[in-house]
Amino acid sequence: MIEELLFIRQEVAPELIAGLWMSIQLIIPSAVCGLLIGIVIGTLRVYGSPGLKGFAGIYVLFFRGFPLLVQLYLWYFGLPRIGIYLSPFAASVIGFSLCSGAYQSEYIRGALQSIRKGQLLAAYSIGFSHTRAIFSILLPQAVRRALPGCGNELIYLIKYSSLAYMVTCIELTGKGSILANFHFKYLEIFIIVGAIYLLLVSVVSVGLNYLEDRIAVPGFDRPKI
């Protein structure tokens, strides 16, 4: 038992912590870019000009339709064919952001469509431009409504970040696999890896709940769970 713990502390922990650090570096920019892409694409799908609406629709079709792993392969193994060489890290972040953006945009679209038309009319009636009305009146409401869904996507992102390993960006799952193969201790190491993801997801859930409370206003309340 002591031997096992020592093994974990000396051989496993440093490696997994390095992997976890890489995962976090992948997740944070992907989550931020994904949300921003989602807000832009979701807004264009509802309020864009016909051309932009079409573009946004096609964007969602492809980035939600292609399996993420295939997308990552295209970014990392496919692009060199046309002379573009991405690092494993860059290919992963780009792949995650674009894919996450497609999913996020659907939450934003749904939320925007659920806002009564009168909100827009009222903004126009006091002299708002279309764009300003969307940014100042509609999106602040839509983001509040979309937050539970967007948070769900963020949690999903945390877990699919493990696919970066497939394009040689060695993050938490990658480190785990290497260790498990090397020491031939699959059960122990993957339980630890899974528990780290669980911990990460739990921390993010608590953060999201806090954020939902912080930006809640009467009328956009959610039932307390």
For residues 38 and 104, give the distance between their C-alpha atoms in angstroms, rounded to a whole number.
Answer: 5
Structure tokens given for 77: 């193994």
Cα dihedral 187, 190, 194, 196 in deg (nearest 10)? 120
Burial of 25: CB neighbours in 10 Å, binned 0-12, 13-18, 19+: middle
| Contact between 127 and 158 (Cβ < 8 Å) | no
**Closer CB to another protein, residue 139 or residue 169?**
139
**Does the protein bind another protein through residue 220 (CB under 8 A)?**
yes
**Does the protein bind another protein through residue 166 (CB under 8 A)?**
no
Nearest Cα residue to 90 out of 80, 76, 79, 77: 76
**Closer CB to another protein, residue 156 or residue 220?**
220
**Does the protein bind another protein through residue 113 (CB under 8 A)?**
no
Among 51, 125, 214, 223, binds another protein (CB under 8 A): 125
**Does the protein bind another protein through residue 50 (CB under 8 A)?**
no
**Closer CB to another protein, residue 122 or residue 199?**
122
**Does the protein bind another protein through residue 124 (CB under 8 A)?**
yes
**Does the protein bind another protein through residue 126 (CB under 8 A)?**
yes
| Contact between 29 and 90 (Cβ < 8 Å) | no
* Binding-site string for another protein from residue 128 to residue 147, where x marks contact by CB under 8 A and - marks none: xx--x---xx--xx--x---
**Does the protein bind another protein through residue 80 (CB under 8 A)?**
no
Tell me the CA distances in angstroms from 126 to 136, 138, 181, one per residue in order: 13, 15, 66
**Does the protein bind another protein through residue 17 (CB under 8 A)?**
no
For residues 92 and 173, give the distance between their C-alpha atoms in angstroms, rounded to a whole number.
Answer: 14
**Closer CB to another protein, residue 144 or residue 175?**
144
Which residues here bind another protein, judged by CB under 8 A?
116, 118-119, 121-129, 132, 136-137, 140-141, 144, 217-220
